[in-house]
């Protein structure tokens, strides 16, 4: 039964129960809710899934950022000798900086292409679980891609700066 009121609907619940019992004493009156409560209950499960997937996506973004930084720092650390040799042979710190940033962006681009392809393929599966979600969200994809590129630049900046400060004599004796 749906009842429309001008005032507070909770106030009329006792009157509604009494009116139903006047017609049929054995008819139970349970689950009296407002329309706002009905709507909230109907979208609560999809909303929960959306919030959960948003939290997991943010966590994945943080893990990806930490991973990009870790790979870049490890890669530059492994190439300490090479960086020292390049500096000893006449490379400028700016050239080394550009080399490290380019390598990081190349790896990031490969990861983004693979991730975007997998994301588009899996978006059809997730769209059935999300409330009013389209198969492909260009704005979200652009934002996430931009964030990952910015993280890659930042993750490459710190090791690249460290690589430009390598003393060629120390790097050649490294290990």
In the predicted structure, residue 134 carries a pLDDT above the cut 70: no
Whether this model's pTM surpasses 0.75: no
Mean of the per-residue pLDDT values of the chain:
83
Domain ranges of the chain: 1-32, 44-172
Q: If you search the block for the tokens 């909770």, which residue do you land on?
A: 10
In the predicted structure, residue 6 carries a pLDDT above the cut 90: no
> Is 72 within 8 Å of 64 (Cβ atoms)?
no
Phi first, then psi, for residue 38 (nearest 5°) are: -60, -45
Share of the chain above pLDDT 70, in %: 93
* Alpha-carbon span 51 to 49, nearest angstrom: 6
Task: Classify the C-alpha dihedral 103-109-110-112 as positive or negative.
Answer: positive
* Average pLDDT estimate for 47-72: 87
> In this structure, what token pair is assigned to residue 35?
């329309």
Element (H, E) at 108: helix 93-127
Q: What is the pLDDT of residue 162?
A: 83
- In angstroms, the Cα distances linking 38 to 31, 44, 45 are 10, 10, 13
pLDDT tens-digit profile of 28-54? 888 788 888 888 888 888 889 889 988
Q: What is the pLDDT of residue 171?
A: 67
């Amino acid at each position: 039964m749906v009842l429309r009121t001008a005032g507070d609907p909770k106030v009329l619940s006792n009157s509604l129960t009494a009116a139903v019992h006047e017609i049929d004493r054995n008819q139970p009156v349970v689950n009296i809710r407002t329309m706002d409560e009905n709507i909230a209950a109907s979208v609560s499960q999809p909303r929960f899934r959306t919030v959960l997937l948003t939290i997991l996506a943010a966590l994945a973004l943080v893990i990806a950022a930490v991973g990009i930084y870790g790979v870049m720092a490890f890669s530059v650390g492994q190439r300490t000798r090479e960086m020292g040799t390049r500096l000893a042979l006449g490379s400028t710190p700016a050239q080394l900086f550009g080399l490290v940033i380019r390598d990081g962006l190349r790896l990031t681009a490969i990861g983004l292409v693979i991730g975007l392809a997998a994301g588009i393929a899996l978006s059809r599966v997730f769209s059935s679980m999300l409330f009013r979600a389209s198969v492909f969200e260009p704005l979200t994809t652009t934002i996430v891609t931009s964030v990952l590129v910015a993280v890659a630049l930042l993750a490459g900046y710190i090791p690249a700066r460290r690589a430009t400060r390598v003393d060629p004599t120390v790097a050649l004796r490294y290990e």
